[in-house]
Amino acid sequence: MITERRNVAQNSYFCAFTFRKEEKNKIFPMYRFGKKIAVVWMLVVLLSVTVQAQINTDRVMNIGRNALYFEDYILSIQYFNQVINVKPYLAEPYFYRAAAKLSLEDYKGAEEDAGKCLERNPFITGAYQVRGIARQNLGDYEGAIEDYSGGLKYAPEDRTFLGNKAIAEVQLKKYDEAEATFAELIKKHPSYCNAYLSRSQFWLEKKDTVKALSDIDKAITLDKHLSFAYAQRAIIKFQFGKDYADALEDMNQALKLDPNMTAYYLNRGIIRYYMDDLRGSMADYDRVIELDADNVMARYNRGLLRMQVGERNKAVEDFTFVLKYEPDNFFALYNRALLYDWLGNYRAAVADYDKVLEQYPDFPDGYYARSEAKRKQGNLSGGEKDYKKALALYQKQRRELETDPDGDPEEEPAADSDKTRRESDKNINKFDRLLVADNNDIKSKYENEIRGRVQDKNIKIEIEPPFLFTYYEKEDKVRSNVRYSKELDELNRLGLLPMKLLITNSEASLSTPQIERHFRSLDDYSRLIGINPDNPAPYFCRSLDYMLVQDFASAVEDLNRVIQLSDNFMFAYFNRAAVRFKQIEYTLSGESAAAAPDYPAAALASRMPAAKPLSGRDPAAGASDKKLSMEYEMVLRDYDKVIEMAPGFVYAYYNRANVRCAQKDFRAALADYNEAIRLKPDFADAYFNRGLVYVFLGENQKGIDDLSKAGELGIVSSYNIIKRLSD
């Protein structure tokens, strides 16, 4: 039914699989509307696990850990569910499932699973960590402290346990205990920057800005590339010292190190506003909106600034945008009403005033403004009525002030606070003040620190990952995701695949419907293979499904079969190399995590992306040098074959260079990156990686030049690295 032919004249590097138009649905039935396959592949796996429990549960656990490591959390949970259904007495699947739920911010589920893990094995220290983090996010600080203390019995030097325990003690206002825990943490880890940054928040909680600044200064001395340290020091100087110039300098430094952090632009906008730099402040809000078009705070503040500089129509646009997302934002309504009034749109102004005064019936400025709008509209009686109401309210407020000279502290803010309003402050008299976040203080820092990541938050310097063929990729707001390849375009036009195939190095995690779809697809292709085991097409399609559900071993097996049946199909060689490299990366990450002294919960740490081998880590650590060398060699041979068949396929050179970086063969890597850039002069990833290789080889200026080009082409982290190299 399906025939195979070689298209030597046009595409000698791959074998085209052709079939009659009416046979398409027979080949790819799972994507035909209205047809459902009853047997789901996941259930097939589960049934086979029951028959061969030991072998298959180990395999399913390994696939689940693959998914967890590559941040496919929903998928990983499905695999761990299978193991738990078959062997509910095992502790490990509960632990891994808890880690996945923690990453999905399912704190209650993570707490429950970590508890079940500890019931079965109380010596898995990572479970104490996961449950403690979950409890801390749920507000159960006592329970979190209990877990951290439990973990410290088995890992007394662990800085994550100590740091989170100290934060929980601060949250319970157990200041003496927190101070002692921070002291212990710093004594055991005197070079741990985050310890000083966390303790600086503690000192702020106690209103001791001198000690807070001292700890931040110490953190910066240890690592001058900590953007948060500069940002936090800027806020302290701004809020407590009123030292606006120094605060601006620190915030500028924070943005040099992390130019995509919207919170920094928002804060710098406030600092500039206090320095009467309205245009500079507005430019910061423009930048926030470029990075996050739906940022309501930036839109609101920009609207106020536009009012002040006379850009009234643009200000109306900003307040209208705010009201689209927050229809009950009466501050935006009132400001828009004033703008409509000034622009002569009295009907719209009165409509907005009506809504504000319904919410704030004792707001004299509102009645006075509405009286003027009604009068201009020709409604003299309505205007007079509002004017009298405003006058009465003004007189009432004057009498209350005479009776109570101290007044309402909300009405009489301290000096220099009259330019801003916190989100929770609903005093309508502050309608003309810039908005600042409620959590622009110690709480936001603590909340961020306990969100479930156990390693340091510092930016790691690592190469951009290799490319592969897949159906999904993450959206990048800075860079275009369209990557053209003549070979890929030709394959897609053949119509062999159920979806458009992409080439990307930014894979997207699957949603639940997508996971279910690809599990069904696996079963469908297995049926097709059973009917015609000599047709390579369904093997290749099934390999993509296996790869997407993180079953790398099965994906490689299918790609082996494709190559046996059609040895000039370039795409099979390319993806086989990419999947094998993923397997190597995952294996090495587990070994490095097991050896990491700071993370006794090796399994939890191993789910986090590890630093790539370029950083100087021995890629063969903990593994057989010979075995690892053979694995790398198999990957390289596949890329060699791709280049032989398609010498203009730029991604093969790039990927081969990445493998050579992993082998520390940097001169060979440079040659491949050079060729990739020659073939594709706007190849940002190749510039970035080549820049890092130059830096590693000590040729810093060449490295900076390449990183600058990569930044120009959209890899923003390049600027952070350039800053580090330039200091």
Q: What is the pLDDT of residues 147-188, one digit of tens each?
A: 999 999 999 999 999 999 999 999 999 999 999 999 999 999
Going by C-alpha positions, the residue among 675, 617, 616 that lies closest to residue 643 is 675
Mean pLDDT across 3-25: 32
pLDDT tier at 392, thresholds 50, 70, 90: very high
- 620 band by pLDDT with thresholds 50, 70 and 90: very low
| pLDDT band, very low/low/confident/very high, at 285 (cuts 50, 70, 90) | very high
Q: Is the pLDDT of residue 385 over 80?
A: yes
The structure tokens 């929980």 sit at 168
Residue partners of 34: CB distance under 8 A and separation at least 6:
none
Long-range contacts of 488-492 (CB under 8 A, 24+ apart): 488/571, 490/10, 490/11, 491/14, 491/571
- Output the pLDDT for position 506: 86
pLDDT of residue 442: 34
Task: List, in sequence order, every beta strand (DSSP E) within 428-497.
Answer: 434-436, 468-470
**Percent of the chain topping pLDDT 70:** 81
Number of other residues whose CB lies within 10 A of the CB of residue 157: 13
Enclosing H/E stretch for 320: helix 312-325
- What pLDDT does residue 617 have? 41
Asked whether residue 444 carries a pLDDT value surpassing 50, the answer given is: no
Tokens of 692: 């890092």
Least confident stretch, 271-280, 316-325, 468-477 = 468-477
pLDDT at 324: 93
Q: Quickly state the pLDDT bin for 415 (edges 50, 70, 90).
A: very low
Confidence of residue 480 (pLDDT cuts 50, 70, 90): low
Identify the pLDDT of residue 588.
79
Half-sphere exposure of residue 95: CA atoms within 13 angstroms, side-chain side: 26
**Candidate ranges 57-61, 118-122, 518-522; pick with highest mean pLDDT:** 118-122
Contacts of 301 (CB under 8 A, 6+ apart): 266, 269, 281, 285, 434, 435
Question: Tell me: the pLDDT tens digits for 578-594?
Answer: 999 998 888 777 654 44
Question: What average pLDDT does the segment 647-666 reach?
Answer: 93
- For the chain, give the mean pLDDT: 81
What are the start-end ranges of the E strands in 354-486? 420-422, 434-436, 468-470
> Would you put residue 22 in left (φ > 0), alpha (ψ -120 to 50) or beta?
alpha
Q: Averaged over 397-421, what is the pLDDT?
A: 63
Decide if 420 contacts 431 (C-beta within 8 A): no
Residue 361 has pLDDT above 90, yes or no: yes
Confidence (pTM): 0.65
How sure is the predictor about 378, in pLDDT bands with cuts at 50, 70 and 90?
very high
pLDDT at 439: 59
pLDDT tier, 406 (very low <50, low <70, confident <90, very high otherwise): low
- With a pLDDT cut of 90, the percent of the chain lying above it is 57
Q: How confident is the model at residue 397, as a pLDDT?
A: 86
The pLDDT tens digits of the residues spanning 663-718 come to 899 999 999 999 999 999 999 999 999 999 999 898 988 998 898 888 878 787 78
Mean pLDDT of 35-47: 30
DSSP at 428: G
What are 116's strand-pairing partners?
none
The conformation of residue 326, written as its DSSP 8-state character, comes to -
Structure confidence at residue 36 (pLDDT): 29
pLDDT at 281 over 80: yes
How far is it, in rounded angstroms, from Cα 446 to Cα 182? Answer: 14
pLDDT over 90 (residue 645): yes
Report phi then psi at 367, rounded to 5: -65, -40
Q: What is the pLDDT of residue 398?
A: 86
